[in-house]
Chains A and B, each alone.
Chain A
Amino acid sequence: MERVPILKIGDILLVSIQVDMSDQTAVALQEDLAERIVATGCHGVIIDITALDIVDSFVGRMLSTIASISRVLDAETVVVGMRPAVAITLVELGLSLNGIRTALNVERGMELIAIERADDDHDEPDDDPVPEPTASP
């Protein structure tokens, strides 16, 4: 079975999905990722789907699950590199990937996570609603 590699860059875990996702690969990725988040204490997860030609409801649900798991472990998830054709298909299918942050590329994703962390550090005590996604200058 193929495993998806998880790379650690600073405070962020980078997952680049390059293979077709099957049930087993997805479950393995979720387990590996949860373990790595706990082991490294990282606060950001970037999932790069540049190589994916097709994102169906299965992959969409997997992304949502990963985002939820990460959130429980206090890590922010950003999906990056979605292709235009994929985005159009998702919209036509009516899937909106609720609760998932997106960014155009890995660089922007890292900036987004950095901003989120900075915001969280500022107003830690507040039980604040999720702020508007804002990009850096």
Chain B
Amino acid sequence: MALSADESVRLGELLTSRAEPVTQRWTETIARQLRGRLSQAELVRQVQELHRAMVDALSKGAVDLNAEEATELRAVLAEFSRGQARQGFSATETATGVFALKEALLSTLKADQSVETLRDYVAFSAFVDQMGLFTFETFVRTRESLIADQAEQLLELSTPVVKLWEGVVAVPLVGTLDSARAQVVMERLLQTLVDTGSPYAIIDITGVPAVDTQVAQHILKTVVAARLMGADCIISGIRPQIAQTIVALGIEFGDIATKASLADALRHVLRLTGVETSRRQSRREA
């Protein structure tokens, strides 16, 4: 609902003439629910900035938050809610920061109780609602972009392929394996096999918190794909609980070698490749 032109002017006038009590009341309301998580000076600065932007927009004749004249107000609101989202305030707290203006306005209007004033208040209130919703939307968008960034970082971070020995590479899997991650792991492992010409790969699942049928499916697919390319995979790092889950779920690893620890897997591969290890007399004993 848009304001009419003179409603907008009247709201502008009201905000200008009662600037002091309105901002003070506004600040108090916000401060009450934030309980000191934001410094008083910072809060006052934010409120004054919002107030100035509103007065500015209204004096230019903005009748709607989407109007041309309210561009700067929108920018200030967006900045306000982005800041709140980054600092970990909840969506309600952010939106209430704007809605608090209503209470502040109401308290300044209380003195005179004509029908006109009531109508004005309802119109102003609709405008403030718009501002609140806008804040809300920006808040959610900021949070979503934060989450997307983090998911991407996680994906890049968590799938290294390391070379253990000449012709042996290992993938230490850490964290839950979903389809997207499994795909990344699979591609990176197979590409490393080609690049390094390694005929053996060890998939270590010590860091995988739970293995269900889907995770097992992903691992099996990787192993079969590696076999198609002419490389053998060994699965290691199977914890006792996971071994029980695998059996309980009836997952068949077939003829794929499984080992309890990465060390066992490496020893197994070294034996297959014909590498012999022997223990020299240790220096400590000498």
Contact = CB atoms under 8 A, between A and B. Distances in A.
Interface of A: 78-80, 82-88, 90-92, 96-97, 101-105, 107-109, 112, 133-137
A108 B275 contact: no
Contacts of A134: 272
B194 A84 contact: yes
Most buried by A among B167, B221, B229, B272: B229
Nearest to B221: A91
29 contacts: A82-B229, A82-B230, A83-B194, A83-B229, A84-B187, A84-B190, A84-B193, A86-B228, A87-B225, A88-B186, A91-B221, A91-B224, A91-B225, A92-B221, A96-B228, A101-B230, A102-B227, A102-B228, A102-B229, A103-B199, A104-B194, A104-B198, A104-B229, A104-B231, A108-B199, A108-B230, A112-B230, A133-B232, A136-B273
B24 interface: no
Contacts of A91: 221, 224-225, 228
B36 interface: no
A26 B124 CA distance: 79
Q: Tell me the dominant secondary structure on chain B's binding face.
A: helix
A95 to B, nearest CB: 9
Nearest to B187: A84
Interface string B101-124: 000000000000000000000000
Contact of A87 (B198, B228, B275): B228
A137 B229 contact: no
B207 interface: no
Interface string B222-258: 0011111111100000000000000000000000000
Given A97-B228, A102-B228, A136-B274, A87 B190 contact: yes
Contacts of B274: 136-137
Interface in B168-208: 186-187, 190-191, 193-194, 197-200
Contacts of B272: 134-135
Interface string B80-103: 000000000000000000000000
A24 B229 CA distance: 26
A84 B221 CA distance: 12
B190 A88 contact: yes
Contact of A105 (B197, B225, B275): B197
A104 B225 contact: no
A59 to B, nearest CB: 13
B77 to A, nearest CB: 47
Contacts of A133: 232
B106 to A, nearest CB: 63
Nearest to A96: B224
Contacts of A136: 273-274
Contact of B275 (A78, A96, A102, A137): A137
Contacts of A137: 273-275
B259 to A, nearest CB: 16
Nearest to B183: A88
B275 A84 contact: no
Most buried by A among B167, B227, B230, B272: B230
B273 A135 contact: yes
Most buried by A among B221, B225, B275: B225
A104 B224 contact: no
Given A83-B194, A88-B190, A135-B200, 9 more contacts: A82-B229, A82-B230, A86-B228, A87-B228, A91-B225, A102-B229, A103-B230, A104-B230, A136-B273
A107 B200 CA distance: 15
Given A87-B229, A88-B187, A104 B199 contact: yes
A87 B226 CA distance: 7
